[in-house]
Amino acid sequence: MYREFYGFTEKPFSKTPDPRYLYLSRGHREALARLKYVLEEKEFAILTGEIGCGKTTISRALMDTMGESYRFCFVLNPRLTPMEFLRTVARSLCCDLPATSKEDLLQEMTDSLYRLHCEGLSPVLVIDEAQLIPDRDVYDEIRLLTNFQLDDRNLLSVILMGQPELRTILAAPQYEPFRQRVAINYHLKPLTLEETQEYLDFRMEIAGGYPGLFTPDAVQKIYEFSGGVPRMINLVATNALLEGFGREQSFIDAELVESLRSELIHS
């Protein structure tokens, strides 16, 4: 369909978090650099951003960047009780059948972390959609994970990723002990208009196409509709390419993007 018409070898605006398509805006570069520091120092970080701003893609890029000496453990659904959470973490650290008592469970985790350390591996716990954590006690368990350490270093890096409401939740006074453990707290902002143009051209080139397919006034419209959020930019751009293919237009202009307004508002 539109891929052949516009000269792409693959879809330029796919929804999957492919690190090849990670456009490093100033904010994304800063986020990636800070998370690298957290992993190198085995610290605790929080990364927040609106839905679709690229948090998950950054975590995948971080995993690819850090190399084989880092072992990433992902908790993708944090709606768990404290024990469920600890058993999920323990399972990801090589305990296939985690203990059912908390005391035994913590000992298993300690043994696993120390064994990984002796093998030259640095475990990294990434908790996605952290704003969904249902219980303050789970936050306490996350905080206590930073107690796994030797005399001179921690044994585990922890990254919490979530939507902006996570910042609101953790601003409450009862989370002061939790906040004190956080070394890096970074909020990922949407792209600027200029970055939106660069983002579109970057992804089209990765997909085998050429920059400039979207006229400057079309980019302005895409920015208006998307608010600079990459996932929304992908949605608008894909719909524009489909419409452009249907019209057999060589370029995507503002009039074409504007014609999608009602469709995008209700999507």
CATH number at residue 204: 1.10.8
At 28-41, the pLDDT tens digits run 999 999 999 999 99
Question: 184 and 200, same structural domain?
Answer: no
Question: 99 and 44, same structural domain?
Answer: yes
Strands in 50-97 per DSSP E: 70-75
Amino acid at 227: G
Which token pair is 25?
Answer: 């805006």
Q: What pLDDT sits at residue 116? A: 92
Averaged pLDDT of the chain: 92
130 within domain boundaries: yes
Question: 167 and 123, same structural domain?
Answer: yes
Question: 184 and 219, same structural domain?
Answer: no
Q: Shortest CA distance to 39 belongs to which of 75, 74, 63?
A: 63
How many Å apart are CA 175 and CA 171, to the nearest integer? Answer: 7
Q: Shortest CA distance to 75 belongs to which of 86, 61, 58, 89?
A: 89
At 91-118, the pLDDT tens digits run 888 777 888 889 998 898 889 999 999 9
Q: What pLDDT sits at residue 45? A: 97
End position of a domain, from candidates 188, 210, 230: 188
Question: 196 and 184, same structural domain?
Answer: no
Overall number of domains in the chain: 2
Q: Report helix, strand and coil shares of the chain as percent, to nearest 5.
A: 55, 10, 35
Question: 197 and 182, same structural domain?
Answer: no
End position of a domain, from candidates 188, 213, 243: 188
For residue 237, the enclosing domain spans 2-9+191-265
145 within domain boundaries: yes
How many Å apart are CA 100 and CA 89, to the nearest integer? Answer: 13
Q: Shortest CA distance to 213 belongs to which of 256, 263, 261?
A: 256
Question: 135 and 32, same structural domain?
Answer: yes
End position of a domain, from candidates 188, 221, 248: 188
At 155-199, the pLDDT tens digits run 999 999 999 999 999 999 999 999 999 999 999 999 999 999 999
Q: What pLDDT sits at residue 242? A: 96
14 within domain boundaries: no
Question: 145 and 75, same structural domain?
Answer: yes
Q: Is the pLDDT at 266 greater than 60, yes or no? A: no
Q: Is the pLDDT at 267 greater than 70, yes or no? A: no
At 197-256, the pLDDT tens digits run 999 999 999 999 999 999 999 999 999 999 999 999 999 999 999 999 999 999 999 999
Please, which contacts does 59-67 make with residues 24 or more away whose CB atoms are closer than 8 Å? 59/35, 59/126, 59/128, 59/159, 59/161, 60/17, 60/18, 60/19, 60/22, 61/19, 61/22, 61/32, 62/32, 62/35, 62/36, 64/19, 65/32, 65/36, 66/36, 66/39, 66/124
| pTM as predicted | 0.90
Question: 195 and 164, same structural domain?
Answer: no
Backbone angles phi, psi at 22, to 5 degrees: -75, 105
250 within domain boundaries: yes
60 within domain boundaries: yes
